[in-house]
Amino acid sequence: MTLLQFQIVSAQQDEFEIVTRNIANHLKQTTKVTTNDVLKLKQTQKPDGSWSDIDYGSSVITLWQPITHLQRIKNYAIAMNNEPNNKFNEQIVTGLQYWLKTAPKSKNWWYNDIATPLAIGEILVLLDETKFVYPKECKDSLLESMKRGDPYKEKGANKLDIAMHYLYRACASKDEKLMDSAVNQLFAPIEFSTLEGLQHDYSYFQHGKQLYLAGYGAVFLMGEYKAASAVRNTKFALSNEKQKLLHTYLTQTFLRAIRGRYSDFNIEGRSISRPDILDKKNAIPDGYAENMLQILAIAKSINPSDVTEIENAIKRINEVRPVSFGIESFHKQFYCADYTLHQRKNYAFNVRTVSSRTKRTETGNGENLFGQFLADGATNIQRTGDEYYNIMPLWEWDKIPGITSRDYVDNLPATIEWGENGSTDFVGGVSDGKYGCTAYDMNYNDVQAKKACFFFDKEIVCLGAGINSKAEENITTTLNQCWLKGEVKIGNNKLLLAETEKLENPSWIWHDRIGYCFLQNTKATVSANTQKGSWKYINKGYSDVTIEGKVFKLFIDHGSKPVNESYAYCVLPDISFKKMNKSAVNIDIVANNNDIQAAANNELKMLQICFYKPQTLVYKQLKITVDQPCLLFIKNIGKNQPEVWVSDPSQKLSEITVSVEVNNKTATKKIRLPDNENKGKSVLMN
């Protein structure tokens, strides 16, 4: 060996030592093991290395007990890392040998190909870190037993998990080639995709083109940050380019869909039916030991130059700062995902829709049993953050906030599993990054409606038109269904007295500092009733204990078999009762019919329009003509040169001609629309 060769070899060994240390440090930080814990283990372990409370012959598919054996050995290894004086040599070696001798197997491949090799890998790395001396054939046999699964053949979380145990094996065997392929596969998901995974609009899809910002999107963040932390400060480290993609997804998308410590219910996919899932302080994704706060701490250390947004989020999630802390005005239309985020210091108002390009929120594995209407324009309205936390077992599932639906007597079970395709093309939004509007051309379950939301600062205007159905049930549009907090006031200072009141042409309703103004004559029902349910009722895997609570519910009744019905209301997401009483909503409903929906905010001098057909709209001194269906957002109304944003929700057009006439001066522009992966994105007309 030449000197140069020797130096290369020794440098490589250093790299493996760094990775070993990184992994051991992470495991020490995320697995709390006390001396007492391991002393108890030592006392109960038999001389052959086994424990009598574990059924090593079990092959069940869930809660497979033999994996506990490896977790206990891992605890010894962590205890030795924590405190060098801890000695469990005999316990560890006999324990490992017992495992090799009995070779337990589950009927669930996930335990054999993922959980078991991951646990063995963690033990081997932890032992290496303490320079633990044990028989070479024991280590070799364990390394051999880890050769399970193929990351190249898997997608999403499974790919990450298998690549992770490849990385552990590469590290424990100092196999550079294996390390390269493990790292390659670990970081492969950090790139834009038009299938599943990270989308060009920085949304995240799983199980087809299905919105999954949390759930699988959270697992993606956890797996990648954990991997990035394992190989940091080595030549295997995450590239700057991929680090930026991951950081942008985390800070611009994921964290923005969380208010305080609670996520938007729209982003969880079928996990919406699991207890506590919205709580990002405590919820732990499937198969992980880490919670979101631990991952945010890693994310912060991976990108130390740009940590403000992560630090602010940690403070909000930990509730050491108010939910408004560090929140900037933000509006974004996710044109790949058919999802809108609208954020202000004092509230979040997000909308989930679906098109023929995307999928509805899935039902599957006995989870989310009534969730088929979740994508029909659901509006997540958060002020304090916990408005919907654990309300799901009690929900009336055809009255998800924001949706228009048939009103069934009992909740209607979903019949299509793993995501149902949307049915219409004209679904999307136009935005300048701070304001915007969203259109949802709905046709589902024999209910048709043109649903649009117009987003400003103090108010969000919701318009519905062309509401038709031939179904027997009444058709309703729900303004909200959230936890009851304090009094409900009905216009003119009247307190809600009965538990349910049917209202003829109400002017407004106020509850929990949120105002709901009706902008046209409406039949509405408001209630503050006790609702009951259980987690098992909406998700077969959970408890059937009855849960009950008081729920604020407000909906519009369009009657049975409506023909061309409509609605117009405005939500003021943070307003005192005193102000509400006097408040005059400074909004013009410029149009609300099957061909066009438009709202203007006089204070902000903004006009937002959904053109469902080529046509002309006249508003004050403005005359706007489009030659194609589109969405338009006009700012600086009253000025000679208004600012105009345009988008094509159908994502089918290549150009649109827009002409804007102000005080008899006309500007006409043929606008080229974004193509390929940017279809549906907003363009500034200039």
Q: Which is nearer to Ca ion, 264 or 396 (CB)?
A: 396
Q: Which is nearer to Ca ion, 531 or 601 (CB)?
A: 531
Q: Are 470 and 446 in contact (CB under 8 A)?
A: yes
Q: Would you state the structure tokens that stand for residue 336, as one six-digit string?
A: 């790949």
**DSSP 3-state assignment of 25?**
helix
Closest contact distance (angstroms) between CB of 396 and Ca ion is 5
Q: Which is nearer to Ca ion, 196 or 398 (CB)?
A: 398
Span interacting with Ca ion, options 34-42, 345-353, 394-402, 626-634, rule CB under 5 A: 394-402
Q: Are 534 and 388 in contact (CB under 8 A)?
A: no
Closest contact distance (angstroms) between CB of 153 and Ca ion is 44
The angle at the Cα of 320, spanning 514 to 485, to the nearest 5 degrees, equals 25
Q: Which is nearer to Ca ion, 122 or 407 (CB)?
A: 407
Cα(375)–Cα(422) distance, integer angstroms: 9
Q: Which is nearer to Ca ion, 481 or 522 (CB)?
A: 481
Per-residue contact string for residues 340-379; x = within reach of Ca ion by CB under 5 A? ----------------------------------------
Cα(202)–Cα(342) distance, integer angstroms: 15
Burial 235-267 (b: 16+ CB within 10 A, else e): ebbbeeebbebbbebbbebbbbbbbbbbbbbbb
| 76, 168, 216, 389: the active-site residue | 216
Q: Which of 437, 377, 160 is nearest to 287 (CA)?
A: 160
What sign has the CA pseudo-torsion 248, 390, 494, 520?
positive
Which residues contact residue 676 at a Cβ distance below 8 angstroms, ignoring those fewer than 6 apart? Answer: none
Q: Which is nearer to Ca ion, 51 or 408 (CB)?
A: 408
Per-residue contact string for residues 593-632; x = within reach of Ca ion by CB under 5 A? ----------------------------------------
Closest contact distance (angstroms) between CB of 57 and Ca ion is 49
Strand order in the sheet with 404-406: 404-406, 474-483, 547-560, 523-533, 500-504
Site size toward Ca ion, by CB under 5 A: 4
Span interacting with Ca ion, options 270-278, 317-325, 403-411, 548-556, rule CB under 5 A: 403-411
3-class SS shares of the chain: helix, strand, coil, % to 5: 30, 30, 40
Span interacting with Ca ion, options 41-49, 136-144, 404-412, 593-601, rule CB under 5 A: 404-412
Tally of CB atoms within 10 A around 282: 12
Q: Which is nearer to Ca ion, 263 or 525 (CB)?
A: 525
Cα(634)–Cα(621) distance, integer angstroms: 13
207 has catalytic annotation: yes
440 has catalytic annotation: no
Q: What is the 3-state secondary structure (H, E, C) of 491-506?
A: CCCEECCCCEEEEECC
Tell me the residue type at 116. Answer: T
What is the Rg, in whole angstroms, of the alpha carbon atoms belonging to the chain? Answer: 28
Closest contact distance (angstroms) between CB of 527 and Ca ion is 12
270 has catalytic annotation: yes
Closest contact distance (angstroms) between CB of 269 and Ca ion is 23
Span interacting with Ca ion, options 98-106, 124-132, 407-415, 533-541, rule CB under 5 A: 407-415
Closest contact distance (angstroms) between CB of 596 and Ca ion is 31
Q: Are 230 and 167 in contact (CB under 8 A)?
A: yes
Closest contact distance (angstroms) between CB of 567 and Ca ion is 17
Closest contact distance (angstroms) between CB of 412 and Ca ion is 8
Closest contact distance (angstroms) between CB of 398 and Ca ion is 4
Based on the number of CB atoms within 10 Å of its own CB, is 412 exposed (0-12), middle (13-18) or buried (19 or more)? Answer: middle
| 247, 270, 406, 558: the active-site residue | 270
**DSSP 3-state assignment of 244?**
helix
Q: Which is nearer to Ca ion, 398 or 420 (CB)?
A: 398
Q: Which is nearer to Ca ion, 395 or 569 (CB)?
A: 395
Span interacting with Ca ion, options 16-24, 369-377, 397-405, 592-600, rule CB under 5 A: 397-405
Helix (H) or strand (E) holding 19: helix 3-30
Beta strands in 86-244 (DSSP E): 197-198, 204-205
Closest contact distance (angstroms) between CB of 568 and Ca ion is 23
Member of 122, 398, 441, 473 binding Ca ion (CB under 5 A): 398
| 26, 207, 256, 261: the active-site residue | 207
Cα(360)–Cα(375) distance, integer angstroms: 6
Tell me the residue type at 35. Answer: T
| Region 490-509 residues binding Ca ion, contact defined as CB under 5 A | none
Closest contact distance (angstroms) between CB of 402 and Ca ion is 15
Cα(663)–Cα(99) distance, integer angstroms: 84
Q: Which is nearer to Ca ion, 290 or 398 (CB)?
A: 398
Member of 56, 110, 330, 408 binding Ca ion (CB under 5 A): 408
Report the Cα 416 to chain-centroid distance in Å.
22
Q: Which of 299, 282, 332 is nearest to 228 (CA)?
A: 299
Q: Which residue's structure tokens are 């992470």?
A: 26
Based on the number of CB atoms within 10 Å of its own CB, is 421 exposed (0-12), middle (13-18) or buried (19 or more)? Answer: middle
Q: Which is nearer to Ca ion, 196 or 407 (CB)?
A: 407
Q: Is 407 in the site for Ca ion (CB under 5 A)?
A: yes
Point out the residues that are catalytic. Answer: 207, 216, 270
List interacting residues with Ca ion (CB under 5 A): 396, 398, 407-408
